[in-house]
Amino acid sequence: MNVGLLGHGVVGSGVAEILLDNADIISANANTELHLKRILDLREFDLPYRELFVKEAGEVTQARDIDIVVECMGGVEPAYTFLKAALESGKHCVTSNKQLVVEKGEELIDLALKNNVHFLYEASCGGGIPVLSPIQNCLGANHILSVLGILNGTTNYILTSMMKNGVGYRDALAKAQELGYAEKDPSADVEGHDARRKIAILAHHAFGSKFSDEVRYPCTGISGISYDDLLYAKRLGYSVRLLGGAFRMGDGYTASVWPYMLPAAHPLSSVQDVNNAVYIKADKVNEVMFYGPGAGKLPTASAAVSDIIEAASKPVRNTKPVESLRFVDGGAQILQYFVRVTSGNVDRAMQDISKIAAGTEYIRLEGKKNEFALITPKGTCGDLNSMIERIQKRKLTLGQVMRYVPEENRP
């Protein structure tokens, strides 16, 4: 079978490299010879396979001799137009493009089914970690209860390097930019938007939700987290992680992206640097975690090539999740919050807060005269939000509100 590649950037060049380097194992696993036949990219490349490059999309998307089209261009257009044409021409399609999946996934899946071809996107979420296919295949005997993940390598690098190196958010971000993890404009990563797209893709696989629900997920990133927050976490034996979460609630599901305080014993707590992990609770298997590199040329390309193998070797089937849960507001979720409070009169502030929320726990750090941290009692997300609003009205300065996971409870 012949493969046509759209885009020879970081991931696309990785797909080409893997297809050429590992042709033996790939063809054996696909049970057929797989050839990289053509690559669409407008740039010039001085490579041993330079004769494969073309500048007209139709030479890949509509060519009679191409069986599988792999899109690694990024962005919605022209990737959407190209893949639509390829699916309509009866070609299996594979993409690593999360924005395309979230914005056009439903339409492209329907189009693939109509044309009896595959539309696969394992590489769009969690980079090299196999997770979308395992949710539907290996966990197919379960009802998924929750999916919680470190879905963004840049923010995990920043948080873990703040903790390891004793530096503030700005310094850790600058280092992440220097190492090429964070973009010059880092907002898509640090404000949680990248993680939000990925949890929308995971929620689709776990619960059959609409990709487009993504815009309704509450989303808070890590730009409000300070080194002092991490000192409290350390004192408690906790770590701070940005997590995307999707949770079954009644006959619906809710989802969000939020900074969490996690106990050291939680499996996600040990995930360091740019690595990603997806922790799933399901009714029969109980807990499983998928861990690995969430980005990067060869890891992401490895996931895309696994889809090529699936497209080449497996019959087309309806890959739509069997459930179709609707998004519900998470106001009824039972949570606990952690927040750092600065005040000129710490004792009075704690008395005031205890009047608002009896049962609040306080943590003091040696040498921090004008601040403390609090952990709220358990409550619904809605009640806890009103509690925080009432505390804010007391002229107290609050740090980033985080979700606090007690030792005994793994969400």
Q: Determine the Cα–Cα distance for residues 33 and 23; give it in Å rounded to an integer.
A: 8
Cα 25 to chain centroid, rounded: 29
Let me know: does 376 contact 341? Beta carbons within 8 Å. no
CB of 92 to ligand HSE, least distance (A): 23
Nearer to ligand HSE, 182 or 308 (CB): 182
CB of 174 to ligand HSE, least distance (A): 16
Nearer to ligand HSE, 30 or 242 (CB): 242
Q: Which amino acid, residue 147?
A: V
CB of 149 to ligand HSE, least distance (A): 11
* Candidates 198, 210, 320, 355; catalytic one: 198
Query: 114 catalytic, yes or no?
Result: no
Contacts of 255 (CB under 8 A, 6+ apart): 199, 200, 203, 209, 213, 217, 244, 245, 246, 247, 327, 330
CB-neighbour burial class of residue 344 (10 A; exposed 0-12, middle 13-18, buried 19+): exposed
CB of 131 to ligand HSE, least distance (A): 13
Nearer to ligand HSE, 194 or 229 (CB): 194
Helix runs in 340-410, H state only: 346-356, 381-392
Contacts of 318 (CB under 8 A, 6+ apart): 113
Nearer to ligand HSE, 205 or 340 (CB): 205
Q: Determine the Cα–Cα distance for residues 397 and 279; give it in Å rounded to an integer.
A: 34
Q: Which amino acid, residue 3?
A: V
Nearer to ligand HSE, 189 or 213 (CB): 189
Nearer to ligand HSE, 68 or 295 (CB): 295
Strands 286-293 and 275-282, sheet pairing: antiparallel
Contacts of 54 (CB under 8 A, 6+ apart): 38, 39, 40, 60
Buried b (16+ CB within 10 A) or exposed e, 364-397: eeeebeebbbbbbeebebebbeebbeebeeeebe
Nearer to ligand HSE, 174 or 365 (CB): 174
Nearer to ligand HSE, 180 or 367 (CB): 180
CB of 154 to ligand HSE, least distance (A): 3
Closest of 253, 242, 250, 245 to residue 210, by C-alpha = 253
Q: Determine the Cα–Cα distance for residues 122 and 181; give it in Å rounded to an integer.
A: 21
Q: What 3 state SS string does 312-353 have?
A: HHCCCCCCCCCCCCEECCHHHCEECEEEEEECCCHHHHHHHH
Number of Cβ within a 10 Å radius of residue 128: 23
Q: Determine the Cα–Cα distance for residues 342 and 96; give it in Å rounded to an integer.
A: 44
**What does the binding site for ligand HSE look like in residue numbers (CB under 6 A)?**
127, 152-154, 181, 189, 194, 294-295
Q: Which residues are marked as active site?
A: 198
